[in-house]
Copies of this chain bind each other. A is one copy, B any other.
Amino acid sequence: MKKAIEIAKKSLETHDVPIGAVIVRNKKIIGIGYNKKEALHSPIAHAEILAINMASKNLNSYHLEGSDIYITLEPCLMCVGAILHARISNLYFGASNKRFGAVKSHQNIENLFTNHKINYKGSILEDECSSLISNFFSELRERSK
């Protein structure tokens, strides 16, 4: 998760909300991603999607069984869908996402899919992951004053 936090900070370069994701398999990082929604003008360019794309390319496979994903923020519906499609085994996230979180906050992941079971754990380095985002919005408000 420390690596995901480090990566999340790269989003700041393009004024994107700092969110990072890392995919690990057999103790090796196979995919990383950070939020590039503003940078790429794309509603798809979430950290998780970019990390999954990289991991799939690395493994030359659209299935990533046996992989773990670490995300600084609870993933949204789209990203949970992608994580389940990719058959990632374990999902770890930091801060909860009350508005859009589709693991436990807004939606419950257990109700969302039928053909893949995933283990998950939230609140990992939660304070650090939350501060990343709250600091970003505080600075944004300051700048727009």
Q: What is the interface of chain A, defined by CB distance below 8 A to chain B? A: 37-38, 40-45, 49, 52-53, 56-57, 59-64, 76-82, 84-87, 99-100, 102, 106-107, 112-115
Contacts and interface: CB of A to CB of B under 8 A. Distances in A.
9 contacts: A38-B62, A40-B56, A42-B53, A42-B56, A43-B82, A44-B49, A44-B53, A44-B82, A79-B81
A99 B115 contact: yes
Number of copies: 2
Given A41-B60, A52-B43, A80 B77 contact: yes
Contact of A84 (B77, B79, B87, B113): B77
Given A99-B114, A107-B112, A114-B106, A62 B77 contact: no
